[in-house]
Amino acid sequence: MAQKFDQFKTTINEISDIYNAIALLSWDQQVNMPHGGSENRGYVLSTLERIGHQKITSPEFGQLIEDAAQEVSQLDPESDEACLVKVARRDYCKRIKVPARWVVENAQVTTNAQTVWEEAKSKSDFGLFRPALEKVVALKREYASFFSPYERIYDPLLDDFEPGMKTSEVQAIFNVVRPEQVALIKAIAGRPEIDDTFLHVPYDEKAEWDFGEDVITFFGYDWDRGRQDKSVHPFTQSFGTGDVRITTRFDPERAVSLLFSTMHESGHAMYDQGFDKSLQRTPLSTGASMAVHESQSRMWENLVGRSMPFWKFFYPRLQARFPGQLGKVDLDTFYRGINKVEPSLIRVEADEATYNLHIMLRLEMEIGLLEGALEVKDLPEVWNVHMQDYLGIAPSNDSLGVLQDVHWSWGMIGYFPTYALGNLVSVQLWEAMLKDIPDIYEQFERGEFLSLLKWMGEKIHRHGAKFEPQELIQKATGSKIDPQPYLRYLKNKYGEIYHL
């Protein structure tokens, strides 16, 4: 009876296999491949990408989706089958609106922009990057036009990362968060500086690495379905729930950052390991959105990994591994050190209290560029003014300012807000979890973390991408994305650490 649906499912499984092969080749490129392999790897990847793209945009596939939709129309709309058809149809309709010549031009422009960005960043010369970025912005404006009518030109770009989310919703949330976070940082700046010198002495890489692996084993990262390797930028890559790999990096200047990066990536990975098996080899076997994904990584990194109950259990173990560095540092001093707040220029090094402000600054600029209120040539100046307003500091050169992130050269405009939304969602889920598991902190102090993973698995992970992010968060917490839990968390935590 469900003959068309089966045919549709077979096709979508094949497409998923192609994209998993691409993912594996990209993982290998970043982890194992010798330098000389890049030319050939480029050919292999672009051939596979082309085959995948042909399949997912073909009229035959479009017809299959429509036929399958008819067959599942009587099913529960929350069934796997109905959700799969719904998501496949949404993605298909978006893809076929974008003409092939735009895809080709975008690939050329962004490949060039990345090369130019690298040079501009190393020379700290925004002027070099400006023409390339102007082309990227023009292409993004054109991309948005394929989806008109829209409420705001930024909506179609945001939708690629946060399905269903509107620019006005994000701005309304950020408008609540921004003044509170700016005020918090000002209050902290008036307090004595925290001593964290013990974090900036040499640590042994292997010992750090082993400790990080121990920690995420306690969290519940499944090594039978994963592994950890080294890469330039830490990332998580999944090839199906049975194989979800993470990477990390060691920075001698900031040795413990390896530990937090391992915890962060394990959060992404445990999400990917937790999708229901029935969703395998389909576009539902992925996170609900970038923000929901980031909520999981930030939760393990910050709400767990920078919390006192976690360190009550793990700190004696860390001290035992690093007696020279930490033997004389007591738990309270260590805890305050890893939670030190210090406005800084670089987003990826920002602490919990300042991080979102880095994002809000980028969002306002991206919207300005898209809506025409801001020109690319004015970015460095506007950047510096915003940094001063939000964080009270300004970069001395563009490399430490407007040129620091690679995203715009990749053409990734619309992505940044998901980082800050992820922070908000992490605490919103946390508050909901606390109602169900009121003794979670006592569990952490005993080294027990599995009930947290189980709760997230039940409420978030197993659903994969069946629901749009706002719908999923509503189901798990009773409301859509709400900034209040996050603001409460920041004020409590830093009020205590800084005696505000």
Residues comprising the chain, all counted: 500
Q: Which stretch binds Zn ion (CB under 5 A): 173-181, 290-298, 369-377, 397-405?
A: 290-298
The rounded distance, in Å, linking the Cα atoms of 453 and 270 is 8
CA angle 4, 8, 14 (to 5 degrees): 150
Q: State both tokens at 8.
A: 């549709």
Q: Which stretch binds Zn ion (CB under 5 A): 239-247, 249-257, 271-279, 292-300?
A: 292-300
**Residues 6 or more apart whose Cβ sits within 8 Å of residue 138:** none
CB of 161 to Zn ion, least distance (A): 13
Nearer to Zn ion, 348 or 450 (CB): 348
Nearer to Zn ion, 195 or 251 (CB): 251
CB of 422 to Zn ion, least distance (A): 7
The rounded distance, in Å, linking the Cα atoms of 151 and 167 is 9
Q: State both tokens at 153.
A: 């030109």
CB of 485 to Zn ion, least distance (A): 20
DSSP code for 79: S
Site string (227-246) toward Zn ion, x via CB under 5 A: --------------------
Nearer to Zn ion, 297 or 354 (CB): 297
Nearer to Zn ion, 297 or 302 (CB): 297
Q: Which stretch binds Zn ion (CB under 5 A): 16-24, 246-254, 293-301, 381-389?
A: 293-301
Site string (350-389) toward Zn ion, x via CB under 5 A: ----------------------------------------
Q: Which stretch binds Zn ion (CB under 5 A): 218-226, 295-303, 347-355, 440-448?
A: 295-303
The rounded distance, in Å, linking the Cα atoms of 13 and 89 is 15
Strand-pair category, 244-248 with 228-230: parallel
CB of 236 to Zn ion, least distance (A): 8
Catalytic residue among 265, 294, 301, 364: 265
Residue 289 interacts with Zn ion (CB under 5 A)?
Answer: no
Inter-CA distances, 263 with 134, 222, 246, 388, 460, Å: 37, 13, 10, 32, 18
Nearer to Zn ion, 286 or 297 (CB): 297
Count of C-beta atoms within a 10 Å radius of residue 77:
9
Q: Which stretch binds Zn ion (CB under 5 A): 197-205, 289-297, 337-345, 457-465?
A: 289-297
Nearer to Zn ion, 9 or 293 (CB): 293
Residue 298: exposure state from Cβ atoms within 10 A (0-12, 13-18, ≥19): buried
Q: Can you say whether the dihedral through the CA atoms of 421, 424, 427, 428 is positive or negative?
A: negative
Count of C-beta atoms within a 10 Å radius of residue 87:
21
Site string (57-96) toward Zn ion, x via CB under 5 A: ----------------------------------------
CB of 347 to Zn ion, least distance (A): 12
**Strand order from edge to edge, sheet including 228-230:** 228-230, 244-248, 236-238
Strand-pair category, 244-248 with 236-238: antiparallel
Nearer to Zn ion, 297 or 426 (CB): 297
CB of 453 to Zn ion, least distance (A): 17
Nearer to Zn ion, 82 or 269 (CB): 269
List beta partners, residue 246: 228, 236
CB of 286 to Zn ion, least distance (A): 14
CB of 278 to Zn ion, least distance (A): 26
The rounded distance, in Å, linking the Cα atoms of 243 and 222 is 9
Look-up: residue for tokens 């540092």? 329
Maximal C-alpha separation, the chain: 71
Q: Which stretch binds Zn ion (CB under 5 A): 44-52, 161-169, 294-302, 479-487?
A: 294-302
The rounded distance, in Å, linking the Cα atoms of 89 and 72 is 13
User: How many residues contact Zn ion, by CB under 5 A?
Assistant: 1
CB of 362 to Zn ion, least distance (A): 16
Please say if 265 is a catalytic residue: yes
The rounded distance, in Å, linking the Cα atoms of 292 and 477 is 13
Site string (29-58) toward Zn ion, x via CB under 5 A: ------------------------------
Of 296-355, which residues contact Zn ion (CB under 5 A)?
297
The rounded distance, in Å, linking the Cα atoms of 381 and 370 is 18
List beta partners, residue 229: 247
The rounded distance, in Å, linking the Cα atoms of 238 and 226 is 9
Count of C-beta atoms within a 10 Å radius of residue 213:
15
Nearer to Zn ion, 297 or 470 (CB): 297
Phi/psi at 245 (nearest 5 deg)? -105, 150
Residue nearest to Zn ion (CB): 297
Q: Which residues bind Zn ion (CB under 5 A)?
A: 297
Active site residues: 265
